[in-house]
Structure 1
Amino acid sequence: MKWVTREKAKVDRIACPWLISRFVDKDAIFLFVPKDKVMETAKKENATPFDFPGVELMHFQENGKEYVSFDAIIRKYNITDRALLDLAKIVRGADASIPDAPVESAGLEAAAMGFRIIAHNDMENMKLQFPMYDALYAYCKERVEAGAKLEHSAKK
């Protein structure tokens, strides 16, 4: 399946392809185009648009809180992996102005900006950043599992 978003990706527009390719669509093809070509390209290529105003997989507000496109994908595809939900908080804090952003969010935003600067294009940016998201997911997974062990021990 094809997926399309705006070019010059930073945090959410790289985190989303990582999430999609790892948990939603293993054969995903990503297209990064100028913002005025997103909907035209979606129609022409039969691609699913994301992180673009007015589409389903975009930032949204719920209960007075801001969520990012990464969250919209998790919601649409009913992803319940607790480590991914933890990672979503980090992505949200790096891509949106939210109170109580996780400390890891600032590092993610800085790294994403650095990758965007050194990458020649969005495809290279994605290739460079995917290992970082793999590592963040492993970090979140370990943190969630450690928390579950503590909860289990406390109940004894």
Structure 2
Amino acid sequence: MPTLNSIPIDKLARLIGTPHCPAIIDVQTDEDFEADPHLIPGAVRRPFAGVADWGPEFLGRSAVIVCQKGLKLSHGVAAWLRHAGVPAESLEGGAIAWREAGLPMVPAARLPARDRQNRTLWVTRARPKIDRIACPWLIRRFVDPNAVFLFVTPSEVQGVADRFGATPFDIESPDAFWSHRGERCTFDVMVEEFGLGAIESLARLAVIVRGADTGRLDLAPEAPGLLAASLGLSRMYADDLEQLEAGMLLYDAFYRWCRDATDETHNWTSHRPSKPAGRA
């Protein structure tokens, strides 16, 4: 029987990656977290003792609170948040139960440093098409919902990264960590490095993105469609950030197809005109 004011791990797993996923807040003690420094996809770390200070930033959203075992820390923080007007639940079994269920976790060592507002900051080339929209979608849905993306002149990416403490991605540099590797595109690399490769729907989406981004449209029947939609968006929006917001919806749709609808077909058939009376 579910515990009062709690959410089962399988239910949260279905919400992760979707636009309506609640805020996932990891409040494990530093000692507990350092024993297994991984985060549930999309989770942010907050100190449990400071909930009265940071709680208001989640107003307008629902939240799931994660501690090591799903006991006093998560239930206490969830209660504080509800007091502050934030609908909040504790994750049943906590991080340990999530791990034991074999569900994916993001290694903290792969996360870039955060700014003063606790956001990761990324920079890439302006006028995105495929990888530079797909990667921000992946980051916001599975890594950091509050991530900030800067689109700049290609020649200035590294300089902006150095001056503003941003992490460059999808750039043409032999030293770039978050970029193409061999035949794999940057989206492939992020799925792997963030520990998300076991999510079957993401693995399927990665093949589609790779095919569209590298010109190998034969990799997946859906790759030409993604390429066409991506090029269309790039013509519709002069502002890169507006294009990113529109692209989020595009990748939400592709992800849900990959997860829930690959076996579904459109079964409507047109009706042939009836034959005129008296004709065979």
Fold match (TM-score > 0.5): yes
Say how many residue pairs are matched.
142
1:115 pairs with 2:115: no
- Contact in 1 for aligned 2:123/2:150 (Cα 8 Å): yes
Q: Distance in 2 between matches of 1:131 and 1:78?
A: 23
Alignment of 1:1-156 (within 5 A): 1-54=120-173, 55-61=176-182, 66-79=183-196, 80-98=198-216, 100-143=218-261
Structure 1 counterpart of 2:18: none
Letter in 2 for 1:8: R
Q: Rg larger in 1 or in 2?
A: 2
Relative to its length, the structure with more helix (as a share) is 1
Q: Distance in 1 between matches of 2:204 and 2:261?
A: 9
Q: CA deviation at 1:145?
A: 8.8
- Contact in 1 for aligned 2:161/2:167 (Cα 8 Å): yes
- Contact in 1 for aligned 2:217/2:223 (Cα 8 Å): no
- Contact in 1 for aligned 2:125/2:171 (Cα 8 Å): yes
Q: Distance in 1 between matches of 2:263 and 2:144?
A: 26
Q: CA deviation at 1:26?
A: 1.4
Query: TM-score if structure 2 supplies the norm length?
Result: 0.49
Which 10-residue stretch deviates more, 135-144 or 22-31?
Answer: 135-144
- Contact in 1 for aligned 2:134/2:187 (Cα 8 Å): yes
Q: CA deviation at 1:78?
A: 1.1
Q: Distance in 2 between matches of 1:145 and 1:60?
A: 31
Q: CA deviation at 1:103?
A: 1.2
- Contact in 2 for aligned 1:20/1:28 (Cα 8 Å): yes
- Contact in 2 for aligned 1:11/1:91 (Cα 8 Å): yes
Query: TM-score if structure 1 supplies the norm length?
Result: 0.86
Gaps of 5+ in 1: 147-156
Identity %: 40
- Higher relative contact order, chain-length normalized (CA < 8 Å, sep 6+): 1
Q: Distance in 1 between matches of 2:142 and 2:233?
A: 23
Q: Distance in 2 between matches of 1:82 and 1:145?
A: 14
Specify the SS of the correspondent of 1:3.
strand
Letter in 1 for 2:190: I
Give the alignment's Cα RMSD to 1 decimal: 1.6
Q: Distance in 1 between matches of 2:226 and 2:249?
A: 12
Specify the SS of the correspondent of 1:32.
strand
